[in-house]
Amino acid sequence: MKFVLRLLVLFVFLLAGIVFVKEYWEQGADGIRKITNTNRGGLANTEVNYGSEVDRIANEFGLPAHYLKALIVLECSGRKKVPSRYEKHVFNRLKKVREGKKAIYEGITRENIKDASDEALKNLASSWGPFQLMGYQCLKLGINVSDVRGPEAIYWGVKWINEEYGYKLRQGKFDHAFRMHNTGSPTGRTHDPNYTKNGARYMEYFSVK
């Protein structure tokens, strides 16, 4: 009876160990990397869909590719076809700027959008592409919204990142960089409390690829 009980206990421990390894760790040629079931697909998708392009453009701008890839996982899980995300509160603020009821919003003035239709404002109030760049950021870049969701989406996204907070990346202040991308402030409170923590883990994964 004791022998059977010991075998049962051993089996339970072995089963728990297998589940732990499968769910949290992946053995690779370059070592053990922590990967959860919830992000494994996003990591793989990002490398397949954007890996070589990000490497090339990151090198062009002198930015860390592993940060950019981690950001893509956070923002769209590495999907090739990325749905837009409309933010009604942004639309309402831009509308007030267009109507002269608000002087400026995120650097956008009435002069920038005085002729914009409601549909155009909705595009400006939505986030697009693998970096989920807000449409109104296109006005600062001097491009159309279609550019940040088209074949050059990575280039324009990286260009914007470089201009907005590339200096943080060059300083190695990645926590600040993630927060600036998500909130506009280096100390902003992210919508997901694990946003920067997950970003750091994804960076670690891509840094050893």
Q: How far apart are CA 103 and CA 140, in angstroms?
A: 17
Report the share of the chain in percent with pLDDT over 70.
Answer: 81
Give yes or no for residue 34 having a pLDDT over 50: no
**Average pLDDT for 168-172:** 97
Classify burial at 110, counting beta carbons within 10 Å of its beta carbon; exposed 0-12, middle 13-18, buried 19 or more: middle
Nearest to 156 by CA among 167, 164, 147, 169: 147
Q: At 10, is the secondary structure helix, strand, or coil?
A: helix
Q: Do the beta carbons of residue 67 and residue 169 sit within 8 Å?
A: yes
Q: Do the beta carbons of residue 174 and residue 180 sit within 8 Å?
A: no
Write out the two tokens for 75: 């923002």
Q: How far apart are CA 138 and CA 64, in angstroms?
A: 23
pLDDT at 121: 97
Q: Do the beta carbons of residue 139 and residue 124 sit within 8 Å?
A: yes
Which residues 6+ apart lie within 8 Å of 99 measured at CB?
A: none
Q: Where are the alpha helices (DSSP H) in the chain?
A: 2-24, 37-61, 65-76, 88-98, 110-113, 118-124, 137-141, 153-170, 174-183, 195-207
pLDDT at 35: 43
How do residues 91-116 score in pLDDT, each as one tens digit? 999 999 999 999 999 999 999 999 99
**pTM score of the predicted model:** 0.80
Q: Out of 3-17, 85-99, 132-146, which region has the weakest mean confidence (pLDDT)?
A: 3-17
Q: How far apart are CA 134 and CA 164, in angstroms?
A: 13
Q: How far apart are CA 46 and CA 132, in angstroms?
A: 14
Q: At 60, is the secondary structure helix, strand, or coil?
A: helix
How do residues 44-92 score in pLDDT, each as one tens digit? 999 999 999 999 999 999 999 999 999 999 999 999 999 999 999 999 9
**Average pLDDT for 8-37:** 41
Q: How far apart are CA 89 and CA 102, in angstroms?
A: 14
Write out the two tokens for 116: 């914009």
